[in-house]
Amino acid sequence: MEIIKLSALEIREKILSGELSSEEVTTAFIDQINKNQKYNAVLEVFDDAILQAKTMDEKIKNGFKGKLAGVPIIIKDNILYEGKICSCGSEFLKDYVAQYNATVIDKLLQAGAVIIARANMDEFAMGSSTENSAFGITHNPLDFDRVPGGSSGGSSAAVALDMCPIALGTETGGSVRQPASYCGIYGLKPSYGRISRYGVVAFASSLDQVGIFSKNVYDNALMLEVLAGEDKNDMTCAKVAVDDYTNGDWSCKKIKVGLPKEILNLAKGLPCEENLKNFVKWLKSKEIEIVDISLPNIDIALPVYYIIAPAEATSNLARFDGVKYTSRAKNAKNLDEIYKMSRSEGFGKEVKRRIMLGNYVLSSGYYDAYYKKAKRIQGELIKQFNRAFESCDIIIMPTTLAEAYKIGSKSDNPVDTYKEDIFTVTANIVGIPSLSIPFGKGEHGMPLGVQLMARKFNEKTIYNLAKFLEEERGE
Centre a 10 Å sphere on the Cβ of residue 222 and count the other Cβ atoms it contains: 25
Beta-sheet strands, E only, within 177-251: 186-189, 209-214
Distance CA 406, CA 404 (A): 7
DSSP H helix total and E strand total for the chain: 16, 11
Q: CB burial class (10 A; 0-12, 13-18, 19+) of residue 65?
A: exposed
Q: Ramachandran region of residue 73, left (φ > 0), alpha (ψ -120 to 50) or beta?
A: beta
Query: CA 108, CA 29: separation in Å to the nearest integer?
Result: 18
Active-site choice (21, 87, 90, 151): 151
Q: Which of 76, 84, 189, 215 is labelled catalytic? A: 76
Active site residue 181: no
Measured from the Cβ of residue 73, the count of other Cβ atoms closer than 10 Å reads 26
Host H or E run for residue 336: helix 335-346
Do the bridges between strand 434-441 and strand 394-398 make them parallel or antiparallel, or are there none, so unpaired? unpaired
Cβ proximity of 125 and 189 under 8 Å: no
**Rg of the chain, C-alpha, whole Å:** 21
Selected catalytic residue, list 175, 191, 196, 436: 175
76 assigned to active site: yes
Catalytic residue IDs: 76, 151, 175
